[in-house]
Structure formats: structure tokens, C-alpha cells
Amino acid sequence: MHPRSATVRRRPAESSEEPRRVLDAIKKIRVVHVVLPTRGGLDIRKRCVTRPDEHQQILLQKLGLKLPEQLKMNDPP
């Protein structure tokens, strides 16, 4: 068999589970709303994105996605 003709064959159940695994890993990345009350009675509000773990970061890179460093409070989550 020629090396280029060799293919990796997966069972249908395995290949259909792969997208689910990717989505399950990425959906664990969260947006967190932080509200800090001040002595003056005002609230400091910040929306933060959790940092992806190493596996999630690899998936994001392969998908060509980049998480924002910061979100404005009026940006949709």
C-alpha cells in the first residue's frame, strides 16, 4: 500500500462525537459579570472572559477564533 493512500478510518459513532467534544470543551469558557460596590454608592462593573485552558486554546487556534481581552458592559455576552 502506498503511504499516501493510507487513511485513518473511524467508526461512524466516533466521527460523529468529535464535533460534540469540541463544542463541549469550548462551552466551558465563560463570561463573568463582576460588580464591585464603592463607598460612594456607585458600582464598578466589568465583564470578563475566563482564560481558556491549554486544550481549549489549541481548539480556538485551529478554528481561527480569538477571545477578546475585555468586553464592554454594553457588548452582548
Domain boundaries, the chain: 14-77
| Band of pLDDT at residue 75, cut at 50, 70 and 90 | low
34 Cβ contact partners less than 8 Å away, ≥ 6 residues apart: 45, 46, 47, 48
> Which carries the bigger pLDDT value, residue 54 or residue 3?
54
Map residue 35 onto helix, strand or coil: strand
Give the helix/strand (H/E) hosting 76: none
Enumerate the β-bridge partners of residue 35: 45
Of the listed ranges 1-5, 8-12, 37-41, 50-54, the one predicted with least confidence: 1-5
Which pLDDT tens digit goes with each residue over 26-64? 999 998 888 999 999 999 988 888 899 999 999 999 999
